[in-house]
Chain A
Amino acid sequence: MPFDIFKRVSRAPTNPKDTPRSRTFDVADLYQGPLQSEFDTTDTAVALDEKLRQAYFWVVNSAIISPHYDIEYNDTPPQSFVVGDSKRRLTLPSAQSYSSYVLLPLLTFATRRKCLFVGGPGRGKTASAILMGVLAGYPVKEVRRAMQHGHPQMTIADLLGNPLPADLVGAQRMEDIRIAWRNWLGMRVKIIDEYNRIPTRTQSALLTVMGDNYAEVLNHIYECPESAWYLTANDDQGGGTYQVIEALRDRIDVIVQALAFNPRFLSDLLVRIEEGIRPEEVVPKEIVFSEAEIDQMHGEILQVELPAPLRRRLEFFTSQFELSETAGAQFEYMTKDTARLSAVDWAQLVAADNGRDRLKDLGCQTLNGLSVRNLMTLLVYAKALAYFRGNNSVELEDLRQILPFVLNDKLRADLDAPFFSLPQNAAYRCDSISWLRHLFDLSNAEYERLGLDQEDPITQLEQEFSLGLESVSESETRTRINRIERLVAEWCKGRKLYGHLYDDLLKLKYLHQRYTNYLHWLRSQK
C-alpha cells in the first residue's frame, strides 16, 4: 500500500546547508519528484546526523504531538510580539527551531546519557521513552517488557535479578550461586518509569547501575553496556511515594518537561483512534539505528569542536556561582560548597555578605555552583546539538539553548535573592528553563562589557604556559612570576570580589606556583 500515514520519513534534506552541490545531472533527476518512484535514491547511505534529524522530524511530525518550538534559532532578526498584561514576548523564529520534548531525548539517545521526563500523567512521557527504545532497534514488545515500573514494593531483586533458588539451597560458596539477571540490564536503552516511586534502598542499587554501569547481587557483578537512560516522574520535585536520593538526581543529565497538549491538534489524535495506530509500532526502518551506528554517531559527536572563545564564555559563566566570600577564611575555601558542608544557615551567611551588588552579581541568584559532572554533561550535549544541526563546531546559540536543560535542577535558584523579588523577574521563580537562559544571557552581556574576547590577560598567560617550561630560562621565569604578581596586586586593589575574579585569582595562584616550583628546580640544577 502506498499510503502509510505514520511511516513517512523526510526525503528532502532536513537541514539543507549552502554547500557546493554536484552539477552532474543524472537521468534519475528527471523522474524523482513528489510521487514515489523506482528512481528514488532511498538506498543511498544517509549521514548519521541526517538520520538523526530524520528521526527527529518523524517523531515530531508523526509520533509525538509536540508543537512547542521552544529551542529557538534565528538567522535573521525574528518577528516578535508582546502579548498579555504581563507583556510576555512571542517570537516567530526565522531559522529551524526545535521542540525540546523530542530533541533532548534524541540527543540523549545519541550521546547515551540520562534523561528525565517530567510532567503530569498522560502527557506521553512513557510513550516517548518507548520510542527511543524502538529507535535503538528493539521490538516494541521487548522495550515494553524491559521497562522498569517504579512502585513502593520494588526490591533490589525485582530490579536487578534473583539468585537461582536451587543454588541458594545447595551452594557452599557465594561464587556458586548463579544469578538470573534481569534482561533490561543488557539493553542499550533503559527505561525506568516513575522512578520516584522506587523505595530508597532500591534507589541505591539503581544508582550503582546508573552511575557505575554495573549491577551487583550477592557478590556477582553484571557489567552493563553503554546505554541511554530514560526516567519518568510525575513531577521533578522528587515527590511520589519516596524522596529521590540526591546522588540519583545528580546522575540525571537532562530534564525535559512534557508541555501541555494543544487541543488544536485533537484531529491528529482522532486519526490515531480511528486508524488504531500506535506510533511506536510503526517506526520506519530508515530511522532505526544499529548498535554500530550509535557507536559511530557518539564518536562523531565527540569530534565536534568547541571553539576556544566559546569555551571561555562558558568558563566565565561557570565562575559566577561558586564564590561565597563569607563561607571561608582561607581563599580556596570561600565557596558555597564549604557553606553547604558546614550546614550553616544559608540566610545567615547571605546576610553577612554585604559587600557586593546583590542584584548585579549573578552568583547571588543561586544556592550552589556547578559540578564537574554538570560541565561535562553540558559540553557533550552542546556538541550533540551542534552535530544534530549538521555543524562541525558548537555555536554560542547551541550552548545557550542546551544549557538550561542540563542545569535544570542542578543550578538551584536562591528564591530569596533580590533578583527574584523584582516584579519583572517573578516568572523566573517557576520557569527555571527561562531563568537559566536569562542567567547565561546576563553572563554573556557582562563578558562582552568587560571586553574579554579582546583582552584577557589570563588567556595570554595560559597560552604562554601551555608552550611548556622546557628551555625557559631563570630570568624569563622570574619575569613571568613578576608579571603574575603585578596582575594579582592590580586586581586585588580596591576591587569587589566577584566569582569570575575569584577564579582568575586562583588560576594566577596556580600559575605562580607552577613557575615557582620550576624556578626551584632550575636553581637546584646549578
Chain B
Amino acid sequence: MTISSEFQEVLRAGRPDFNARAAEARHRYPSFNSELLGQFLTHSVDPFVAAAAPECRGIVASAAYDVALELVGRELAGGHTRGRLLDRLWQEVLPALVGILPAQPAPMLCALCNALLNLHAQGARAEQWLQLLLEQAPQIRGDVLPDIGVLAAWRAGAVQFRFAALRLASAHPQAASAILGLPEQGELTKQLPLLERDPWLLNPGNANVLGHEVGRFTGYGGHFPTPPSVRACAAGFMVKSEDRYFLLLADSFGALLLPASANEYLAATDYQAPASPAPGLIDGGLHTLRGRVEHSFCRDDLQLAWNEHSAALYSPYSFSIYVVPWR
C-alpha cells in the first residue's frame, strides 16, 4: 500500500521539519520504532489526511503526524488489540469526523485516542464506541463531539459515565435517542429522575438484560489474583481480591471494575442493604423479584451481596462476579 498523493505532498513540503520531529521523538522514546511509524502513517494517518479539505490539509497532517509520533513512541500503535483499535479510529472514524474537527485538531485527536484507550483498558466495548461515533458522524457538530463521545462511551459499557451521560442526554435528545434508545425530549425530562435512580431501567436493543459477568484470574489477563469477596455499597459493590480493591459498577449497558482502596472496602461494611424485599439463594439458585436467575457457578459456598438495584453473585471457587438486576 502506498501513501496518498495528498499526504505525500504535505510530507514533501515540510520534509526537514517532519524529519526533525521524528529525530526528536527517537530521543524521547527509547523504544521508538521508525518502521512502525512508517506503517502507521501509511495505513492509518493517510486516510485521515486524505479526507481533509485541501485548505486545512497541512495543519491536519502536521497535527496527525505529531500524534502518530507519540502513539508509536509510547508503543500504543502496533499489531496488538489496542493498536488495531487505534487503526480503526484513524482509518474509519476520524476521516468521517475530519470536517468537524477544530482548526487546531491535535488536542481533539489526542482526546479521542485517549478515550479509546481508556475504554479498552477499562474493559468497555471500544469497538462499539467506534461504531457509534461512526454512525453519528454525519449528524453531529464539532462542538458537541465530546458530549456525543460520552453518550457513546456509556452505551459501550463505560458505566461510570451514567450520570454524566444522563445530564448530557437532555442537551442532545436526538443523539441520546439514537445512541441510548432514550425517549424523545418531552418523555426524557419526565424519565430522567427514574433513569438516575434505577441503573437497569434502560433496555438496550429491547433485549432482556440478564446481567454481566466481570473479572477473571490475573494469570489470564484479568483483575483478580484470588477469588474475590464482595461488599455492597450505594454506588455498586466494593471488591477485594488479595491486596487489590475495586469498585464494581453495573447497569443495563455493562459492568466494569475501577480501582479502589482498602478504606473504601472497609467503609462498605456500614452499608445497609434492603432487607425486604431482597434477593436470596435457594438451593444454590439466585431468586430475585424478576424470577430465578441461572448461573454457571459451583453451587457450594455460593455468596450473595446486593444493594438497592443489583445483586452480585460470587464464589470462593471462581474468579468471576455475576451482577444482575434483582427488582
Contacts and interface: CB of A to CB of B under 8 A. Distances in A.
A22 B307 CA distance: 20
Contacts of B107: 36-39
Nearest to B154: A30
B180 interface: no
B110 A3 contact: no
Secondary structure type dominating chain B contacts: helix
Interface residues of B, number: 42
Interface stretch (B8-16, B38-46, B65-73, B272-280): B65-73
Contacts of A2: 66, 70, 106
Contacts of B158: 30
Given A5-B27, A23-B235, A39 B111 contact: yes
Interface string A6-31: 00000000000011110111110111
Interface string A259-289: 0000000000001001100000000000000
Interface in B191-230: none
26 contacts: A1-B21, A2-B66, A2-B70, A18-B262, A20-B261, A23-B247, A25-B160, A25-B163, A26-B164, A27-B147, A27-B161, A27-B168, A29-B118, A29-B161, A30-B149, A30-B161, A31-B111, A31-B112, A32-B118, A33-B113, A34-B114, A35-B70, A35-B113, A37-B110, A39-B111, A39-B114
Interface of A: 1-3, 5, 18-21, 23-27, 29-39, 271, 274-275
A3 B163 contact: no
A35 B71 CA distance: 8
B153 A30 contact: yes
B71 A30 contact: no
A271 to B, nearest CB: 5
Contacts of A31: 111-112, 114-115, 146, 149
A27 B115 CA distance: 10
A35 B115 contact: no
A31 B147 CA distance: 11
A275 B24 CA distance: 9
Nearest to B117: A33
Contacts, number: 92
A18 B259 CA distance: 11
Given A5-B27, A20-B264, A21-B261, A33 B114 contact: yes
Contacts of B117: 33-34
A32 B150 CA distance: 12
A197 B70 CA distance: 49
Nearest to B163: A25
B311 interface: no
Nearest to A25: B160
B28 interface: yes
A3 B69 contact: yes
Nearest to B102: A38
Given A25-B163, A31-B149, A38-B107, A3 B114 contact: no
Given A29-B161, A30-B115, 17 more contacts: A3-B21, A3-B69, A18-B261, A18-B262, A20-B264, A21-B261, A25-B161, A25-B163, A26-B164, A27-B164, A30-B153, A31-B114, A33-B110, A34-B76, A37-B107, A38-B111, A39-B107
A35 B76 CA distance: 10
Contacts of A1: 21
B244 interface: no
B74 interface: yes
A74 B168 CA distance: 46
